[in-house]
Chain A
Amino acid sequence: MRQITIARDVYLDTSVIVNAIIGGMHHSESCLQFCYQLAQAESHVYFSRIVRLEFSQALRNLASRAQLPEDLRSTYGLDDWYNYMVRERWLQFGVSQFADFLRHFPDVTELPFSRAIWEHSVKVMAFTNLQSHDAIHIATARRYRISHFAACDSDFQRVDGLKILLIRDGSLFRQ
């Protein structure tokens, strides 16, 4: 992966966070290395509150997937998913992983999701044809004037006015 100059303030899209927390994904290694560089450079990291929403949904979806290793499935008894205790234990484990991930950065800011951001995201959807969640991230970064936006999805390159850092295995470049 090519090294880039690490910005002082960087907005992390859900894709970067999920890829860093869930190892073995297509872009996990790049995201882990990128986040490590951010932490070393003591960059200020920003993310939207909706990341929590998306991450908990990812945990739920992941629990029913065969892609999880058998030892993890058996440790958390995921084959018994309809048991409340199983679900709670797995989701809390995921939440602790999220917290551990954030602790690697010296400065982290969680940004709210507001009606104004939602309204702006609709304009972003219209202009760029992004999906709603992606547009909310763009609208949030713009509202708080965070110019560097890190994501794994190349669709974000359709967005103007932000420096899109595309974090993908095999390539890392700035727009």
Chain B
Amino acid sequence: MAEKTPKHGIKRRTLSRTRRAGRFNVASVNRSRIRSDSHEDAAVIVYRHDTHRRVEPFRPAIRVTKPISLEELLGNDNDELRAVIDAPDHHSS
């Protein structure tokens, strides 16, 4: 399996068509489906899974006994978000 790290820091993995047909997490750049014209396309990651399989309902292992509001659940102080905005690969030109 060929593996390399492209210039924008996203791990890219190329698998053969045969292996793509299997149940693998495939991270690859797919420029044809994403219609954009900037270098940021390189950070798009596509995961492909076997389409010839029976789809089972997802059964979450995390289950709350009493609902919690999304606002409470997702609340944060935005430090993490600022870290993403300030990431070096988004400032390169």
Contact = CB atoms under 8 A, between A and B. Distances in A.
B57 A36 contact: yes
Interface string A95-124: 001011111111111111111101000000
B1 interface: no
A109 B74 contact: no
A115 B61 contact: no
The contact size tier of chain A is: 35 or more
By secondary structure, the B interface counts as: loop
A153 B74 CA distance: 13
Interface of B: 23, 25, 30, 33-36, 38, 40, 43-51, 55-68, 70, 72-76, 78, 80-81, 84-85, 90-91
Given A69-B63, A106-B51, A111-B44, A20 B58 contact: yes
A139 to B, nearest CB: 13
Nearest to A39: B55
Interface of A: 14-15, 18-26, 28, 32, 35-36, 39-40, 42, 44, 49-50, 53-54, 56-58, 61-62, 65-69, 72, 93-94, 97, 99-116, 118, 132-133, 143-145, 152-153
